[in-house]
């Protein structure tokens, strides 16, 4: 278990290839677009279910 030492951990951390600013920006934009899109879909589904339940007089409002 040589890697489970301070020097082994430092050696493994140095092997990590950190993303550049361009790649980081691209991935962040993709996550934001997905999150906003999922929020819109969730909102629409919630609205439609609520509308259906109101038309059926299951819930008041």
Say whether pLDDT at 6 is over 90.
Answer: no
* Confidence tier at 8 by pLDDT (50, 70, 90): confident
Burial class (CB in 10 A: 0-12, 13-18, 19+), 25: exposed
pLDDT per residue over 12-54, tens digit each? 899 999 899 999 999 999 999 999 999 999 999 999 999 999 9
Q: Domains of the chain: which residue ranges?
A: 19-61
The C-alpha atoms of residue 12 and residue 15 are separated, in whole angstroms, by: 5
DSSP assignment, residue 5? S
For residue 59, is pLDDT > 90? no
This model's pTM is above 0.75: no
**pLDDT of residue 5 exceeding 90:** no
């Amino acid at each position: 278990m040589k890697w489970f030492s301070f020097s082994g951990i430092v050696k493994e951390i140095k092997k990590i290839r950190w993303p550049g600013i361009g790649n980081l920006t691209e991935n962040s934009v993709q996550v934001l677009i997905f999150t906003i899109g999922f929020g819109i879909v969730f909102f629409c589904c919630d609205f439609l279910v609520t509308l259906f339940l109101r038309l059926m007089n299951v819930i008041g409002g």
